[in-house]
Amino acid sequence: MARMVQCAKLGRLLPGLEKPPFPGELGQRIYEQVSEEAWRQWPAVQAQTAWTYTPAPSFSFQARLAYRSLADWSGLAPGVEGQDVRVGPSWVVDLSAQKWIWEQRVRGNLTVRNLNNGRDRSYIRGEAARLSLILHVSVYLNE
């Protein structure tokens, strides 16, 4: 028999989640107060697609487009009472270029994250990712 919870989002006694959706206090709180049905509603739509173009074996471009729909988690705000936990719909566009050098021992990757500078609120706490530039260098040592 499924574990029953008084769902904070839907206001009814419903079957709960099988395990916390992520570690930590907030994950435990969701496990104890949110039904499986309510959890499936957040976000209602989440989609992403990615493209890669490789004009040469040592060079490539990548693009990622992601969408998340509106979600409302009123009643589950951690911390301040009445905190807004509505997660608005968002589009995220990431572009990156990758280059291998020195006989494919060193790889450089430059990424422009959230190119459209929109709010990427993917967590109930409302954490946002703004426009950022990421430079990543990897060195591979061979024997």
pLDDT in tens, 34-69: 888 888 876 666 788 999 999 988 999 999 888 877
Question: 28: helix, coil or strand?
Answer: helix
Extended beta strands in the chain, E state: 4-6, 13-15, 46-56, 59-68, 71-72, 86-87, 90-101, 106-113, 132-139
- Please work out, in degrees rounded to the nearest 5, the angle formed at the alpha carbon of residue 118 by the alpha carbons of 121 and 87: 25
> pLDDT category, 73, cuts 50, 70, 90?
low
Percent with pLDDT over 90 in the chain: 21
State the Cα–Cα distance between residues 42 and 77, nearest whole angstrom.
14
Q: What is the mean pLDDT of the chain?
A: 78
Contact between 68 and 87 (Cβ < 8 Å) = yes
Cross-strand bridge partners of residue 88: none
Regarding pTM above 0.75, the answer is no
